[in-house]
Amino acid sequence: MSFSKKIAIVTGSSQGIGKAIAVLLSQNGATVILNGRNQEKLNTVEEELKANNSDVCSFCGDVSDEKVAENLILFTLQKFGKIDILVNNVGVSMRGDFADLAPNVFKKVFTTNVMGKIFPTKFAIPSLRKTKGSIIFISSLAGIRGLPTLSAYSASKMALKSFADSIRTEEVSHKLHVGLIYVAITEIEENKTTIGENGQEVILNTRANKKVQTTKQVAEAVLQNLKTRKNISILSGLGIVNYYMQKFFPRLVDKIILANLAKFKSEGK
């Protein structure tokens, strides 16, 4: 499948996984609309892609805001006339036992991870129907089974599965492709933040010297999902094992997690 002449929106693409997806899509011929909340970071990515003769532009704004999400879609349609691909990547994580979480932690996580994907999808569907396009949801292995210290994050990622299933069934007559990507533990950029138990941003521990996937590997999996129009892609061998273990041996999974509880609390996943 060629991505030439395809118009692709990638939310949360000023850094990390979203940036890697945007880069790879552009390298494969797609016109990419970048999105993020930091205009300076978006400018840096846009300049990097344009230096490689990529057709790219950016739209700054928080897509968990309904009006911003609508304006992103309108901006794309006014500039390019159609949408072929929507990659719902924007997301945030958190850390802390549920009993210790400030009440606004769940709200912050769900606003970004769920509403930040629902709103762009809602406004893009009419155009995607015309192109028989693709909607991609970037999820996590934490969306397969709720994990300790990640209650809000796990719950938000699990919500994406039911949302994707519903849309896929409803839009079958329009031949829309809805792909869900279960991302494994992935490298992070320096000074990347998460939401702490008090609701404030905290810097994540580095994942250097740990066995993690690269953002490029995640991006390659996303493009493969787009090419094959698969429903679900589970990244890494460990991810596949986790998926089927939870499905067929949930009690054993409970025991394994309990045996490694201290590791979860000290590192998070």
Helix or strand holding residue 75 (H, E): helix 66-80
Cα 244 to Cα 237: distance, rounded to the nearest angstrom = 11
SS (H, E, C) 198-228: CCCEEECCCCCCCCCECHHHHHHHHHHHHHH
Long-range contacts of 252-258 (CB under 8 A, 24+ apart): 253/145, 257/145, 257/147, 257/148
66, with CB counted inside 10 A (0-12, 13-18, 19+), is: middle
CA distance readout (Å), 108 to 33, 70, 91, 242: 25, 20, 10, 27
Q: Among 153, 182, 243, 244, which one carries the catalytic annotation?
A: 153
Cα 265 to Cα 269: distance, rounded to the nearest angstrom = 9
Cα 220 to Cα 215: distance, rounded to the nearest angstrom = 9
Q: Which residues contact 269 (CB under 8 A, 6 or more apart)?
A: 141, 142, 147, 150, 185
Residue 145 sits at the vertex; the CA angle it makes with 158 and 202, to the nearest 5 degrees, is: 75
CA distance readout (Å), 202 to 70, 92, 189, 213, 243: 30, 12, 14, 22, 29
244 is a catalytic site residue: no
- Which residue numbers are catalytic? 153
